[in-house]
Amino acid sequence: MPTIINRVRSFMQENNYSEALKLLYSIPNEYLSSEACILRAICLQLDNTDGHDLQDVHNELSKAIEINPRSIESNLEMGYFLYAVMDDSKTAQPYFQKVVELLGDFFEDYEDLKNEIAES
């Protein structure tokens, strides 16, 4: 049985953002992931039905970061949203900086693991 996220991605490939949003909003808050919030934000931007605004997108991306502050994707999406959609490079900058920091941590962890494996 496909997961909700897989079904959402299928709807998105079909440009059926309304159905994707219905599925995404059916996820109980206690099971909400940063990935689901990011997908909500993307669908909100692309859905052509009325009732969505850019504040809704911002709220979803904020939730994604709240759920997982160390998510590279969440911080990158927020930075890009603020920079490209909201035309606010000053507010976007800390999110891009966080991505650089997180990537540095990732590569440091990778090097540590690689060295540990080589030593064993």
Range of the domain at 80: 4-119
Task: With a cut of 60, say whether residue 2 has pLDDT above it.
Answer: no
Q: What is the pTM of this model?
A: 0.86
**Count of the separate structural domains present in the chain:** 1
Q: 63-82, pLDDT tens digit by residue?
A: 999 999 999 999 999 999 99
Q: What are 85-91's contacts with CB under 8 Å, separation 24+?
A: 85/45, 85/54, 85/57, 86/54, 86/58
DSSP 82: I
DSSP string spanning 14-63?
Answer: TT-HHHHHHHHHTS-GGG--HHHHHHHHHHHHH--SSS--HHHHHHHHHH
Mean predicted lDDT score pLDDT of the chain: 92
Identify the CATH number of the domain in which residue 27 sits: 1.25.40.10
